Structure 1
Amino acid sequence: MAKEKKQLPFSQAGLVNYTGEVKSGIIIKPEYVIILSVVIVFIEIALWRGVF
């Protein structure tokens, strides 16, 4: 039989933490995302100016 899913009321506006969900995928620290973004910006500026 299919597993029944519980429906939550809409009044919470998506601010609910669903602890029953399985966390999967790549987990990256926020610091690494910021560093990578800054590096990409510098590379784009260098390419735009014709350094490379």
Structure 2
Amino acid sequence: MRSETHSAEDVAIYKTGPGSALVAGVMEQNVIFHIMNTAGHLSKRAAKNDTE
């Protein structure tokens, strides 16, 4: 496959740890990304690494 696709297939997501309370029911894929980003402070880490 030469390009990525989003198939809209249902997938299992398991929750534990920081931000796990935000995961519930049926969710869009992009929402899962934002939950992971928020819980892991990924944007802050990326910004910090860019300034170092």
TM-score, scaled relative to structure 1:
0.26
Bigger radius of gyration among the two = 1
